[in-house]
Amino acid sequence: MGRVAVIGDVGGHRAQLAQALVRLGADPGTYRLPPDLQVVQVGDLVHRGPDSPGVIALVDRLLSDQPGQWHQLAGNHEGQYVDTPAFDWPEVLPVAVQDTLRDWWSSGRMRVAAAVTLADGEQVLVTHAGLTSGLHHRLGRPRTADDAAAALEALRETDPAALWRAGAMLGGGAPDLAAGPMWAEAGAELAASWVADEALGVQMPFTQVHGHSSVLGWERGEPVLRAPELRDRIQVQQADRHVAVTAADGLLLGIDPGFGRTAHYRWAPLLFPDATVTA
């Protein structure tokens, strides 16, 4: 085992991604990862920031040169190019960058989910937006993150619509407690689905890590609660912009740093110091 770092939504900010990698021990010239480090990136590499092509070029080199150490997940913004476009976005990536994303997806180098196993055997499921309880139920209630990651990957062939199923965040619809792992809103769908299960005595069988959205907004660097019904369930690591929500005897760890057109510097990947990626 070594270290596993989970990096939140980069959103076209190559400089912030590069700086995070250097802080994790990557070579400052080539960004080659140290041998003890694996990285899982939760998707939404592109859009918003100034250099989406630069982000994709950097990650493509890491995927090619260190495929066992860089684990790339898809987000809803990658979905604009690897699936049917679901929303209007003012920025359109260059054709060569689009082709790279499609190649990652078709070859399996860009995945739906990853599982991290800690030294004590505890498992963590990593997806872009989280695995809602409704979708977990549809998958047969897998008990391990390894099994959940495999079941989510299988949906690419068996039920791709379930992967891209959107609720409140697309079109302002009502919350969908079975929203998919590319679109589930952190409070009204992901956390709410497990809180509803908690009332039925159902437990979340593994910790989850997600990006995509947060139960907190950030105004002038200060957290602003977006889901007041979760107030007593939230713990905030403000310097890193990590937000933990407890539900169904489990933990949902949100790590979206909330980058817009500009980025901020008070953020960090989530680091597991003694772990490995097992799925």
Structure tokens at 138: 């549809």
In the prediction, which pLDDT does 188 show?
95
pLDDT at 175: 95
Q: What is the signed CA dihedral for 154, 176, 168, 182, rounded to 10 degrees?
A: -10
Specify the pLDDT at position 218: 78
221: left (phi over 0), alpha (psi -120 to 50) or beta: left
The Cα-based distances of 76 to 47, 252, 255 in angstroms read: 11, 19, 16
Residue 225 sits in a domain whose CATH number is: 3.60.21
The answer, yes or no, to whether residue 35 has pLDDT greater than 90, is yes
Report the number of distinct structural domains present in the chain. Answer: 1
* Local confidence band at 113 (pLDDT 50, 70, 90 cut-offs): very high
Give the pLDDT band of residue 172 (cuts 50, 70, 90): confident
Residue 149 has pLDDT above 80, yes or no: yes
The CA–CA distances, whole Å, from 77 to 22, 74, 128, 194 equal 25, 8, 10, 25
Residues 125-151 have a mean pLDDT of 98
Are 13 and 261 spatial neighbours (Cβ–Cβ below 8 Å)? Answer: no
CA distance 144 to 167: 26
- Per-chain mean pLDDT for the chain: 96
CA distance 93 to 99: 10
Return the bridge partners of 60, or none: none
Residues spanned by the domain of 212: 2-277
pLDDT tens column, 198-220: 999 999 999 999 999 999 987 77
d(CA 113, CA 130): 9
